[in-house]
Structure 1
Amino acid sequence: MLMKPFVLFLCFFLFIFCSINSYAQQFFTQGDAVLVDPITYRITPSQGGKTGMITNLYPVNLAQNFTINFKINLGVNDAGGADGLAFVLSNICSPTLVSGQGLGASGIPNSIVIEFDTYTNGPTMNDIDGDHTGIYADGQLNAGGNIMDGGTGLPVCLRSSCANMEDGAWHDVRITWEYLSATSQRISILFDGELRATSTRNHIAQRFANNTNVFWSVSGSTGAASNLQQFRVVDNNNNNFAVCSGSTVTLNAPTLGSNYVWTGGSTSTTNTATYTFTTNSTISCSYRDYCGISRTVNFTITANPNPVVSVQDINVCELNPPPLKATPAVAGTYNYVWTVPAGATNPGNVASFTTLVPGAYTVIITNPTTGCASAPATGNVITAPAIDPVFSSIPDTICRGSVLASFPLTSDNGITGTWSPAPNNQTTTTYTFTPAGNVCAYTKRVTVVVNNIPAADLSAFKTICTGEVIVLDPKATGYSLSYLWQDGSTAPVYNATTPGTYTVTVSNACGSTTASATLAKSVCNIYIPTAFTPNSDGLNDFFRVMGASYIRTFSMEVFNRWGQRLYSNTNPFVGWDGTFRGMQQDAGMYVYYIRYTNLIGEASVVKGTFTLLR
């Protein structure tokens, strides 16, 4: 858009500073118009008989599309307020300011005028009740000059609601120019986002005598009634803008002029001059405009400082890595962009983070308010693997009560630290070695086993049946035990098959103990219970023989009182659960029939009754 006279820039980080084209939206004032702040002009004070105009020094080209955005404030005086503002396109560099009912724009030749009228002067001025707008030719603000599309010949309300616009508020205005063809162009007015009027004609030929270079102005007037009427720049900051220190900026004065002279050391004689700003500056360009009038445009540049950041090298232990930090020279809020080595995860927009990947880490910080970026800063991460401390002097086992010296505070491989708890020669204990805080080493745990003299006991073994095998287990306690039985065998248990005395000696590094058992010959029979209670309480839930370990072969059958066989089995260790085909049987008396041989091959048949209790 031609009327975008403010800073357009693309910034590249590293040491490439922004290259900027800057257009100043500079106005010259007439009458009572004054600049009241960097972007606001007072067109008229709230006094009667006042007229003011501002004209933009930068021409626009009617052979191109363009949009002009601004804000207007029509004051707060409704009942006694007047008269309003006008937007003017004219090929006159310095339009004549006219007081009275014409909003300061009456009678300007070769022009298009868009009114923002807040006063009703009656039909002769093509006015309607309410604040209104219309598009007029050559400063003729009457029905004869109305060139709006639609054919009614009347203006329209500024808002479709026809609400009062003398409300002290700032209202958005957009003027759009569309170059449809060499013989047709359209100008449109949007007020507070609503399209209010258009005019489509060969304006270039009819209004501007085929001259495509025009200037735009905003004017206003008051009469007997008055209002504080104001204009505000929207598309840029008038001619006040900020850059990053070191930026290269191209300043643009109005085109179509001559005799350009720039301050600030530039030797340019055209309407453009390029500068590099490191400090706040004011640049002026004097020239003769399109109409031969001497003009000056001023540019006020704020050179914002570029932030400075540093990143210190760090040595990283893999067990507890310290953060890698970007430290701005001036504290504040910044955006951070990191470049990390291959294999590392980019942390994103953060000031610090931890990493175990060695290499160079580079950061650029940007001030989010000014957009200015630092030079890149690099810090190196050096990683060190953790060391496993080695202590060869600490015993794995000791005998209870023997000397257990204090543990060394430096490992065989040079790691210093502390131990806890204190050495204990009475109980097996796990000890923890904690490396010193500045040492990259693992925590070490060492268990010292405290051995007792072994204990062993065979006193529970008294008898043995003919053919029975008894496993003699001394239930020895202690560490690193060895066994020696009476026949020289060294297994932890011994299988006894005959009566006699059996002896075992259990030993370890702390001593030995001997235990013995004398097995007498015994008669071993089975026992058959007379009742059982299958109620799933874990006690006597099955009907089965006792002494099953004395049986070599076995079969058992269970019958009810009508002779029906309910159960059969050949495993003496398994019994009947009181069910038949999944159904619980009634409480009462049942018959068993058992055949078996004992360990020496003697066969027996046993039958009888038992009771199922519920």
Structure 2
Amino acid sequence: MRLIYLTLFASCAFLNPSYAQQNLIPNPDFEEYYGCGYEIQFDLLQDILPGWSARVATADYVNEDCDNLFHPPYNGKGYITANTILTDIPDDSGGQRREYPQVALIDSIYENRNYYLEYYVRQKNEFDAAVSHLGVYFSNEIVLDAVNPQTFDMYPILVEPQLEIDTVVHARGFWKKLSFCYTPDQNYSAAVFGVFRPIEEVVTDYAVWRNYSYDAFYLVEVPDTLSLVITPERDTICAGECLTLSSSHSRVPGSFSWDLPGSNLGSSTDSVVTVCYDTPGVYPIGLSAEHCHGTYSRNWPEAIVVLPNPTINTATQNFQILSGDELPLEICDNSLDWTIDWSPHPGLSCLDCPSPVFTGTSSAELIATISIDGFCPDTCSYNIEVLDLAVADFKVARPTICQGECFRLTNDSRNFSGSIQFGTPGNLETLPSDTENFEFCPNDPGSYELIFIVNGNLNADTLTLTDLVVESFPTPLIAPQNYSANVGELLTLPAGFNARQYHWQVLSGELDLNCTTCSTIRVDPLLSGSIQLTASNGACSDSLLYNIEVARQDAQFYLPTAFSPNFDGVNDEFRAYGNFFTITELEIYDRYGGLMYQESGPTASWDGRAGGRKVVAGVYVYILRYTNIYGEDLMKSGAVTLVP
């Protein structure tokens, strides 16, 4: 079967590759092998590019990483080249060298089915050179070159190709697309590319070396029924989105007519069209195509489903709550029964409902995604700031003070802002928020109640301090403070204050008190001194000093002039009797001055013995040493008669 349809033009890359058919040519862009570790013209093409080989001579593989890059590939990074030399080679090939790239198809092409083939060619030569009868020969086998590809057994393949171009192809310096529509009369599994006509049938311009490059092969079946191809691969979109539409025939050159109600275009004559839909609904699509294989048309009544988008009035909502409080939330669009998905958070009462309740002890950023079963999602954001409660905490240094003093207060409040209110009920004043220590100074005695109020962002807290007491000082009374008395003469001292508690204390002298906590006391004086009275009303006290002058009191002695140590229980010892003195030592001498007896201590006495034996009756001399009540050391002497 000969040429059915042909287009030739300079081309840009095809913009949309979304078609329903499989390309039957493997490695069509020569990308699988990518390297330069081979010798151009001497390595077998089948050892370099999977699926490809060369007949008669080895076609060359070139990629743009190699130094031998002759010109850029049409697409990708690689291409192959093949020589077509029709004259000027003096060998037994008749002056010809023709290289034929060939490929094993991924799947056979089948009898009486429609196919479309296209590929790109380009001449390498720097001067204008062209040739006719570039063609494609389909067969059922790949015939490889000889083992040694350097031999020049390069006789042409002279066959009747199924596809062929009769005209001269000029492709110097740019790529040309060759395209064919083809309906085979039998099954084929391989394709060979090149010039298959005898030299005398080939039309040439400048019969010289021609090096053709090949790239971007595309061979697909053209089905009898149009099928719709949507890119991205879905028929449900959101309002405002766009889709690219093509068909199973879009790659075949021809005329196309799209019916696109509801879209931004309405209709189009492009083979591939991008359309947008702004209004929700279900829309049909119609397509008519006419090309080399015939005329085709089809309608898809519910081709595109356009869903509404959520209407988000406020994308982000901000809230403040107190720690532990509950916050009811609402999704930002309640117009439809949306599918709802809240970002997981332990403080949410549910994750798929429109109105969850948030309870939290720390701030959170929540996102609610609303969609129609996952389509057309949009999000609502919720910034929730969880604030701690404002706590009024004030401490008083001393809850009881004296009249004229001040209560000293410390502010330990937390989580508050703004000024502080404090004072007595009905009489509050304002303090700055940074107040730490301050005073409250009432004038009158009594019990007081203080109120403190601090304000947080969302709450106010009040603290009341009760039982703050201001005590009065004792009331002074007219009372004498200086007294004179003899030893042993009782004095009565009245309190110099009117108070609730009294405390008497001897500061100096020897003064005996009958009571230390009475309002009036009696004093038995011995030595001059002072007494301090401390009077108090609770924590408030005052004091008064009493001075007592005691007249001098000499020691009072009684010393016997005689004694009889006969142990009859009467006047058996010689000792000193009396008041206001303390014996320190007693010495007894005979009339000759001999020491008969000596004893120290306040109980010293003589029983008429010396050295454990009774002494003779007679007159003896005593020396009594003593200390008076004033601490003075004195001596008294005299005679005593020992009576038998």
Name whichever structure is richer in strand by fraction: 2
Q: Of the two structures, which has the highest relative contact order with CA contacts closer than 8 Å and spacing of 6 or more? A: 1
- TM-score when normalising by structure 1: 0.30
Which structure has the larger Rg over C-alpha atoms?
A: 2
